[in-house]
């Protein structure tokens, strides 16, 4: 067995090994991974968020799996709060997801609560998992004097291990005593697992001088076990808005925010987005089709997109934040196919990690997407740099420019199919040694 | 910004960095990558293959891109040879693929030829690429006195760079002079790019004492640029069999061999499988529906599966060869969805690299596949070890057994959905630092 071209391969292999050694030595010396291992793409700080009338938060250390940190959060919602939700489509979704799905759209006169634990996903735990969810919901309902049908739970963490409901119910007195309007940041921290930073976002606007607030938080950094980095998102507003209207908005905005991000194409068994509207703002109710509804929706979308981007920025091992913009597709569905194929391609994502403007891999991803594409109409750009068009490399393209562009931390890949008006945008990160380190590590 | 659980994370991160440093130092000392970097999953040697009557091979160094190695191969096929083919479905497929697709099924009275170059894929090179294919086919046709419609070409290597047909046509005299029945191994080597070993397989059987031979070769180790590790496969037999029958067999067997392997879910712009039957065996013609046809098909399938497995065994960075067996699906299409979701999941593949029996990730992949699945009917096994069943971990499951199993180089993941008779098998490899090294390397 001889190799194809020994000298070139050998030089390359040795150079790679040496550069990895140098990189690792630098990392060890710098103390990376010893406490400062926050994603390089993280925002500078958790945002300052104004309280949302009608919502209180508490967090506590229940010892579900982790020691020495809060691992359970409780949100109490005022009577009359409308709650909308979107959930993972996984056929193996967790007991908490199945329970919450069934409760969405029920009566909303009473108060409500959301309880989330980290450390254990309570997924693939059989009928025992279903019983744990019911027991937690009943205990929360009793403690807060609300119906169990108004208690929504989520669990994130290791899967296939039974969740001890007793540890969580034992923390309920502490949680109830700690409920406060400014507890959002603590709640955001309590639900993290492999996240390297807590994720929050908010915004607001006035209706005839009366303020409306939106604030939310999320967790997730890719789909990981043992700490299943499920994406969990909780957004709160004091707007007055009916449940069906809220649900319709959430479903629509979710399709262009959380459903447009990908870290590794894997889908959690527990993904959940809940949106609660307490109606405690002095502003009048929001009616669909009005200018006020449009303003509310714009702020809500900005909050959702901000949280979605933060999840990508915390992608395991991520060093680049990438926006994939697809235009000119035969229709929106085709545009989404192309965006997804580019954003999920291991070859595109490793090229980005290597800061290589390897546009051939983008052509490959377009080709495999299943969308209608014609070689001689396809155009590709990196940021504002026209790379390929009319079936070949663009005449003015200089690889040195593209290579310089690829060294940025935030990148845009543009694909125009030249066929129609279909468009889609997705956000992704690069695929690095860090991803392999995190995910090939034996659970211990 | 504080981290979730500093001590555990810090210890883990430092341990990972140290073990990677130690591994890299060992690799550098051992001279890995300096000449002996053949995949650990490679067969011990290229197989001894009996010549196939009616086929001759030659290879030569045309200097398409590489220096000091053969990079072009020519196969001459006897007059009357029936040629069947299956090709990539990529919408951005290469000029050579488009040309070859159009020629399949044409008249077969004349002699024929297959010419393949490595080093340049001639993909996304516009109309210039189409002209290069036509020029090479015309030159081969002239040199061998056959019609250009009987010349099939493939190109593999860097994409987006123009292929100089002159370099290849200049090598035609050398190639024609070197044609020999035993040239298959040299041809197999000439078409490799990032392959770490040349891939061949063969077999045969008798019809009433008259021998029928099948032999073939392949290249591919995942979808890589700059050396696009397109999968190219050429199989030859001296059986007498009509083109439509041959095409039907190839299409059917391809669906359960080459279409059931995945390295990184990415699809090349140039994938090609050609099957040529020269009719030079003394055995009678093979007629569909007969016992002889069944025997021929069994040998052909074994050859195709062998070559397909060799491509996976040469997957970039692969250290494990994995068979994913799905049974009990509602139908075969659902079974294939599940097998593909498991075989392509970065989380499943990194767990395998880490020798971690992390069956939760298999549950996740089943859930995201889009196939019908019910938690309480799903069963998962690793080899013969029952891992999960009836909605939870199997009662007799001991993680130590599974961890020991995962240390093997060849693994079986079994998924039974418990719903119907749908079944599918796919083959894949693990996802390692080696994959990132190879693919995040800047082209130079």
Give, for all 444 residues of chain A, the pLDDT tens digit.
233 344 555 555 556 666 666 665 555 544 444 344 899 999 999 999 999 999 999 999 999 988 889 999 999 999 999 999 999 888 788 899 999 999 999 999 999 999 999 999 898 888 899 999 999 999 999 999 999 999 999 999 877 888 999 999 999 999 999 999 999 999 999 999 888 999 999 999 999 999 999 999 999 876 543 334 568 999 999 999 999 999 999 999 998 898 888 776 666 677 899 999 999 999 999 999 999 999 999 999 999 999 999 999 998 889 999 999 999 999 999 999 999 999 988 889 999 999 999 898 898 889 888 899 998 899 999 999 999 998 888 999 999 999 999 999 999 999 999 999 999 999 999 999 888 887 776 553
Within 351-380 of A, beta carbons closer than 8 Å to B belong to 351, 353-356, 358-361, 363-369, 371-376, 378
Q: What angle do CA A117, A122, A128 make, to 5 degrees?
A: 125
Contact by Cβ (8 Å): A59, A179 = no
Reading the block at residue A99, the tokens are 């329970």
Contact B47/B200 with Cβ under 8 angstroms?
yes
β-bridge partners, A200: A217
Please name the member of B28, B345, B433 whose beta carbon is closest to the beta carbon of A436: B433
Q: Which residues of B touch A17 (CB under 8 A)?
A: 24, 27-28, 32-33
Q: Both A308 and A326 in a single domain?
A: no
- Residue B9 is predicted with a pLDDT of 54
B439 and A194 within 8 Å at the Cβ level: the answer is no
Residue B229's contacts (CB-CB under 8 Å, 6 or more residues apart) are B156, B193, B194, B195, B219, B220, B221, B222, B223, B268, B316
Q: Do A92 and B366 touch (CB under 8 A)?
A: yes
CA dist A307 and B55 (Å) reads 62
Give residues with Cβ within 8 angstroms of B220, minimum separation 6. B195, B199, B229, B230, B231, B232, B268, B311, B314
Q: Which of B351, A260, A262 is nearest to B380 (CA)?
A: B351
Domain presence at residue B384: yes
SS3 (DSSP) at A183? coil
Whether residue A364 and residue B92 make contact (CB cut-off 8 A), yes or no, is: yes
Cβ distance of B37 and A13 shorter than 8 Å: yes
Tokens of B83: 């040629």
Low-confidence ranges of chain B (pLDDT < 50): 1-6, 29-36, 224-228, 444
Q: Which residues contact A303 (CB under 8 A, 6 or more apart)?
A: A201, A202, A203, A214, A215, A216, A235
Chain A: nearest CA to B139, how far in angstroms? 25
Instruction: Examine residue A146 and state whether it is found in any structural domain, yes or no.
Output: yes
**The last residue of a domain, from among A266, A286, A313:** A313
Q: Which of A77, A57, A50 is nearest to A279 (CA)?
A: A77
Radius of gyration of chain A (CA): 23
Residue A192 sits at the vertex; the CA angle it makes with A191 and A196, to the nearest 5 degrees, is: 160
Is residue B14 domain-resident?
no
Q: Do B17 and A27 touch (CB under 8 A)?
A: yes
List CB contacts (< 8 A) between A347 and chain B: 223-225, 264, 266, 439
In the beta sheet, which residues pair with residue A329?
A: A422
Rg (chain B; Cα; Å): 23
Domain end residue (candidates: A289, A313, A337): A313
End-to-end CA distance of chain B: 39
- Asked whether residue B106 falls in the same domain as residue B221, the answer is yes
Q: How far is CA A50 from CA A182, A186, B285, in A?
A: 8, 14, 83
Mark whether A270 and A333 lie in a shared domain.
no
Contact call for residues B97 and B267 (beta carbons, < 8 A): no
Place of tokens 């070559």: B307
- A12: tokens are 């390359």
Specify whether A230 is catalytic.
Answer: yes
Compare all CA atoms of chain B with the CA of A403 and give the residue at the minimum distance.
Answer: B442
Domain's final residue, options A313, A334, A356: A313
Among the partner residues B7, B18, B354, nearest to A441 by beta-carbon distance: B354
Which residues 308-347 of chain A have a CB within 8 Å of chain B?
344-347
B417 touches A at CB < 8 Å: no
For residues A368 and A428, state if they share a domain: yes
Closest CA of chain B from A51, distance in Å: 20
Cα separation, B189 vs B4, whole angstroms: 52
Which residue in B368, B377, B415, B416 has the most chain A C-beta atoms within 10 A of its own C-beta, making it the best mutation to test that interface? B368
Please check whether residue B298 lies inside any domain of the structure. yes
The shortest C-alpha distance from A402 to chain B (Å) reads 12
Q: CA-CA distances (angstroms) from residue B37 to A158, B285, B316?
A: 37, 44, 11
Which residue does chain B place closest to A157, by CA atoms? B360
**Nearest CA to B414 among B350, B354, B362, B373?**
B362
Q: Which residues of A touch B354 (CB under 8 A)?
A: 439-442
Provide the residue range defining the domain that includes B181. 55-311
Least CB-CB distance to B437: which of A16, A46, A123?
A: A16
Cα–Cα distance between B166 and A253 in angstroms, integer? 55
In whole angstroms, what separates CA B382 from the centre of its chain? Answer: 24
Q: Are residues A112 and A158 in the same domain?
A: yes
Minimal CA separation from B339 to chain A, in Å:
14
Whether A40 has its CB under 8 Å from any CB of chain B: the answer is no
Q: Are B378 and B415 in contact (CB under 8 A)?
A: yes
Phi and psi angles of residue B218, each rounded to the nearest 5 degrees, phi first: -145, 160
Cα A367 to Cα B88: distance, rounded to the nearest angstrom:
10
Predicted local confidence at residue B316, as pLDDT:
83
Question: Which residue on chain B is closest to A345 by alpha carbon?
Answer: B266
- A134 Cβ under 8 Å from any chain B Cβ: no
Number of H helices, E strands in chain A: 13, 15
Residue A24 lies in a domain: no
* A chain contacts of residue B393, beta-carbon cutoff 8 Å: 160
State the ipTM, two decimals.
0.77
0.95 exceeded by pTM: no
| B319 CB-contact burial (10 Å; exposed 0-12 / middle 13-18 / buried 19+) | middle
**Residue appearing with tokens 């040299």:** B186
CATH code of residue B241: 3.60.70.12
B267/A367 touch (CB, cutoff 8 Å), yes or no: yes
Pairs of residues, one from chain A and one from chain B, whose beta carbons lie less than 8 Å apart: 336
Contact between A186 and A261 (Cβ < 8 Å): no
Return the residue in B5, B69, B335 with the most chain A beta carbons within 10 A, the one to mutate for interface testing: B5
- B76 and B194 both lie in a single domain: yes
Q: Which of A192, A317, A439, A442 is the best residue to mutate to test the B interface, defined by the most B CB atoms within 10 Å of its own CB?
A: A439
Q: A392 and B366 in contact by Cβ < 8 A?
A: no
Angle, CA of A72, A73 and A74, to the nearest 5°: 130
Angle between helical axes of A243-255 and A291-313 (0-180°, round to 10): 50
Q: Identify the residue among A98, A122, A375, A419 best suited for mutation to test binding to B, counting B beta carbons within 10 A and taking the highest.
A: A375
DSSP 8-state assignment for residue A34 = T
Looking at chain A, how many residues does it have?
Answer: 444
Chain B partners within 8 Å of A127 (Cβ): 376, 391
Q: How far is CA A391 from the centre of its chain?
A: 36
Asked if B94 and B187 sit in the same domain, the reply is yes
Could you tell me which chain A residue has the CA closest to the CA of B188?
A4
Instruction: State the pLDDT at residue A23.
Output: 60
Which are the catalytic amino acids of B? 230
| Cβ atoms of residues B432 and B322 within 8 Å | no
Contact (Cβ atoms closer than 8 angstroms) between residue B255 and residue B74: no
Contact list in B for residue A433 (CB cut-off 8 A) is 433, 436
Locate all alpha helices (DSSP H) within A109-224, ordered by sequence: 126-144, 165-169, 172-178, 184-190
Is B379 contained in some domain? yes
Q: In angstroms, what separates the C-alpha of A284 from chain B's closest C-alpha? A: 37
Beginning with the edge strand found earlier in the chain, give each strand of the sheet holding B55-60 in spatial order.
B55-60, B72-77, B112-120, B151-158
Q: ω into residue A226 within 30 of 0, thus cis? A: yes
Q: Rounded to whole angstroms, what are the CA distances from A357 to A62, A406, B55, B407, B418?
A: 48, 6, 42, 37, 46
Q: Are residues A262 and A369 in the same domain?
A: no
Instruction: Kindly name the residue from A230, A269, A292, A432 that is annotated as catalytic.
Output: A230
Q: Report the CATH number that the domain containing residue B345 is assigned in CATH.
A: 3.10.20.340
**Together in a domain, B245 and B222:** yes
With CA atoms as reference, the chain B residue closest to A432 would be: B436
3-state secondary structure chain B: CCCCCHHHHHHHHHHHHHHHHHHHHHHHHHCCCCCCCCCCCCCCCCCCCCCCCCEEEEEECCCCCCCCCCCEEEEEECCCCEEEEEECCCCCCCHHHHHHHHHCCCCCCCCEEEEEEEEECCCCCHHHHHHHHHHHHHHHHHHHCCCHHHEEEEEEEECCCCCCHHHHHCCHHHHHHHCECCCHHHHHHHCCCCCCCCEEEEEEEEECCEEEEEEEEEECCCCCCCCCCCCEEEEEECCCCCHHHHHHHHHHHHHCCHHHEECCCCCCCCCEEEEEECCCCCCCCCCCCCHHHHHHHHHHHHHHHHHHHHHHHCCCCCCCEEEEEEEEECCHHHHHHHHHHHHHCHHHHHHHHCCCCCHHHHHHHHHHCCCCCCHHHCEEEECCEEEEECCEECCCCCHHHHHHHHCCCEEEEEEECCCCCEEEEEEEECCCHHHHHHHCCCCC
Residue B168 Cα, gap to closest chain A Cα (Å): 19
Q: Which residues of A touch B439 (CB under 8 A)?
A: 346-347, 350-351, 354
Number of domains in chain A: 2
CB contact under 8 A, B392 and A225: no
Q: Are B369 and B337 in contact (CB under 8 A)?
A: yes
Cβ A363–B123 below 8 Å, yes or no?
yes
What tokens appear for B138 in the block?
Answer: 């015309």
> Looking at chain A, which residue has its C-alpha nearest residue B191?
A4
Same domain flag for B284 and B431: no
Give me the pLDDT at residue A146, please.
Answer: 98
CB contact under 8 A, B24 and A20: yes
CB contacts of B9 in chain A (<8 Å) are 33, 37
Task: Judge if B348 and B235 occupy the same domain.
Answer: no
To the nearest 10 degrees (0 to 180), the angle between helices B332-344 and B346-353 is 60
Establish if B191 touches chain A: CB-CB under 8 angstroms.
Answer: no
Contacts of A373 in chain B (CB under 8 A): 91-92
CA distance from start to end of chain A: 39
For residue B275, give how far its alpha carbon lies from the nearest alpha carbon of chain A (Å).
24
Tell me, yes or no, if B16 comes closer than 8 A to chain A by beta carbon: yes
Residues linked to residue A85 through DSSP beta bridges, in sequence order: A274
Domain assignment present for A386: yes
**B416 and B325, same structural domain?**
yes
**Is A30 within a domain?**
no
Return the sign of the alpha-carbon dihedral for residues B146, B150, B154, B159: positive
């Amino acid at each position: 067995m001889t190799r194809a071209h020994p000298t070139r391969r050998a030089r390359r292999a040795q150079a790679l090994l040496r550069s990895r050694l140098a990189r690792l030595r630098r990392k060890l010396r710098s103390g990376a991974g010893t406490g400062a291992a926050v994603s390089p793409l993280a925002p500078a700080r958790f945002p300052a968020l104004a309280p949302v009338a009608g919502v209180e938060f508490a967090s506590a250390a229940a010892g579900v799996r982790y020691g020495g940190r809060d691992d359970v959060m409780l949100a109490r919602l005022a009577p009359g709060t409308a709650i909308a939700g979107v959930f993972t489509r996984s056929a193996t979704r967790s007991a908490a997801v199945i329970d919450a799905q069934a409760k969405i759209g029920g009566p909303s006169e009473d108060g409500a609560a959301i309880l989330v634990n980290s450390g254990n996903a309570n997924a693939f735990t059989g009928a025992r998992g279903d019983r744990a969810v019911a027991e937690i919901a009943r205990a929360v309902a009793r403690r807060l004097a609300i119906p169990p049908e108004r208690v929504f739970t989520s669990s994130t963490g290791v899967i296939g291990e039974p969740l001890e409901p007793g540890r969580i119910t034992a923390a309920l007195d502490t949680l109830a005593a700690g409920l406060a309007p400014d507890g959002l940041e603590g709640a955001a921290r309590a639900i993290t697992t492999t996240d390297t930073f807590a994720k929050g976002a908010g915004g607001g606007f006035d209706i005839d001088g009366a303020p409306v607030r939106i604030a939310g938080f999320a967790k997730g950094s890719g789909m990981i076990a043992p700490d299943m980095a499920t994406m969990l998102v909780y957004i709160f507003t004091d707007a007055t808005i009916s449940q069906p209207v809220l649900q319709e908005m959430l479903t629509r905005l979710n399709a262009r925010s959380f459903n447009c991000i990908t870290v590794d194409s894997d889908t959690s068994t527990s993904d959940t987005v809940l949106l609660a509207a307490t109606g405690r703002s002095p502003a009048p109710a929001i009616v669909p089709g009005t200018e006020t509804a449009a303003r509310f929706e714009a702020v809500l979308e900005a909050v959702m997109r901000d949280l979605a981007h933060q999840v990508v920025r915390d992608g395991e091992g991520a060093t680049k934040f990438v926006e994939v913009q697809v235009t000119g597709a035969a229709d929106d569905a085709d545009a989404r196919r192309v965006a997804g194929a580019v954003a999920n391609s291991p070859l595109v994502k490793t090229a980005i990690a290597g800061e290589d403007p390897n546009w051939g891999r983008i052509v490959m991803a377009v080709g495999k997407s299943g969308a209608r594409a014609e070689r001689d109409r396809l155009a590709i750009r990196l940021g504002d740099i026209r790379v390929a068009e009319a079936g070949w490399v663009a005449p003015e393209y200089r690889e040195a420019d593209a290579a310089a562009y690829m060294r940025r931390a935030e990148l845009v890949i543009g694909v125009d199919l030249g066929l129609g008006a279909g468009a889609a945008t997705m956000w992704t990160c690069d695929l690095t040694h860090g991803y392999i380190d995190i995910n090939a590590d034996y659970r211990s």
